[in-house]
A and B are shown apart, each in its own frame.
Chain A
Amino acid sequence: MFKLEKIKFKNILNIEEILLEENRVTAILGSSGGGKTTFLKLLNNMITADQGTITYQGKDIESYDPVSLRREIVMLPQDPQIFKGTIKDNFTKTEAITDNENSRNLNYNELLQKVSLTQDLNDAADNLSGGEKQRLALARVMLLEPKVLLLDEPSSSLDKKTEEKIIKRVVDYVRKNNRTLIMVTHSSKIAEKFADKIINIENGKIIK
């Protein structure tokens, strides 16, 4: 699905070659500041590599319209920003800003259940805790039903028990719906338990 060859980005990332397969769960491990977020940002063209090529579905990523690409490959940043208003507003705004029509049949309450949020849709999103905001942001990504989910430390603000529960639900969703998940995580336990492939990135290089 993704093929990266001779990638260089500033002095942050230097990758010889790597293949990321479709409909698989890939976990990315590594020390902080090692280039994991940069790696994810390259995949949805939030940044462009200084050297090398990245292909997605056999085509150079630079040949895609960047916005259409990002609607197919949606990224959840490590510090997601919640929109002002209610939880429901966060869903409707996400649909509006991405002209998304596919999500019309989705039930917002089911989405909340998937990420273990028990709040009412009309509750203010601002009152949520850090971990709850992170889960709402994850639900926002799932609402868009992207082909590829790029999740940057999606469970960093969660306790161990909730972390495993949430990741399990995301992975189940991905496998059931034939999606691709590429996830940065700090937990090697999570990576080993759920991922088909684990990539270790240290000091901008992939460690075999």
Chain B
Amino acid sequence: MSGTIDIQIMQLVFAYIFVLVLLFIVKQKEIGHKGEILLASVRMTIQLIAVGFILEYVFSNQSPIYSILILLIMETFAIYNIFGRVEGRISKKLKLIIAGSMFLGTSISILFFVIAVVGLDPWFRADYFIPLSGMLIGNSMTGISLGVNYLINGIRDNKNLVENYLMLGAEPETAVKEISNRAFYNAVLPTINSMMGMGIVFLPGMMTGQIIAGASPIIAIKYQIAIMMGILGSVTLTVFFMVNKGAKTFFNSRKQLNL
């Protein structure tokens, strides 16, 4: 048992049968959204082929510039993705805080992870740096999306309560403390839940990938444990920065609620 079984192009084409099955069901049941399914399949194919070629190039031409450039592209896409997932309008100030929190939180976590935990040498080794960064950024993106939505809805739905706090003479931070704490918890909860089920309910993607690529399961679990800790740290830091600074954007300089 050694090496990875390569998938031939014709075999890969067979995989698209699953898309046809979905299209058939959607048509039969008149569910609609055929165009969306086709678009998603085509987009995924093109995006992955493009990424495949880019990574092939970057891996064989290792350079800190390439690694950082790809990191920045991933950060930018993640930040715009968060903006798209927010329900309703968000202020420019909150957008800046989301972007800043994502960038700061993930950067600290990625650097710590690749240098201290994995011990990458050189630190920018693209075949490790890029996928590991991607996992941290992707999970932080989900965390912040959940956190920011909870924060916005929490303050809007509890406007009277927040105002009541202010009327009694509470600081704005105190007035939204419970909502901020819930937002933080809701944002890190999916990561905690996924840690709970890991290894029993499902085999995580990174570990599966490594095993298929020929790594020993013991090495694979070491990486999986490490990446889960990295994800937890990255989600925690990004959401913590966002909730702490973001909650303040709902108040003006006179500490009045500004919705």
Contact = CB atoms under 8 A, between A and B. Distances in A.
A132 B109 CA distance: 51
Given A62-B254, A66-B255, A44 B167 contact: yes
A98 B168 contact: yes
Contacts of A34: none
Contacts of A140: 168
Contacts, number: 52
Contacts of B168: 70, 74, 94, 97-98, 140-141, 144
Contact of A79 (B160, B165, B170): B160
Given A48-B256, A67-B255, A75 B167 contact: yes
B69 interface: no
A77 B160 CA distance: 9
A97 B170 contact: yes
Interface string A55-90: 000000010001100110011110111000000000
B161 interface: yes
Nearest to B167: A75
A47 B166 CA distance: 11
Given A77-B160, A81-B161, A97-B165, A67 B171 contact: yes
A84 B218 CA distance: 49
A203 interface: no
B173 to A, nearest CB: 10
Contacts of A100: 169
Nearest to B177: A97
Central interface residue in B166, B167, B171, B175, by most chain A CB within 10 Å: B167
A81 B161 CA distance: 6
B163 A97 contact: no
B216 interface: no
A98 B167 contact: no
Interface string B151-174: 000000000110111111111001
Contact of B169 (A76, A79, A144): A144
Contacts of B161: 81
Nearest to A47: B256
Given A80-B164, A81-B160, A81-B161, A74 B254 contact: no
Interface of A: 44-48, 62, 66-67, 70-71, 74-77, 79-81, 94, 97-98, 100, 140-141, 144
Interface of B: 160-161, 163-171, 174-175, 254-256
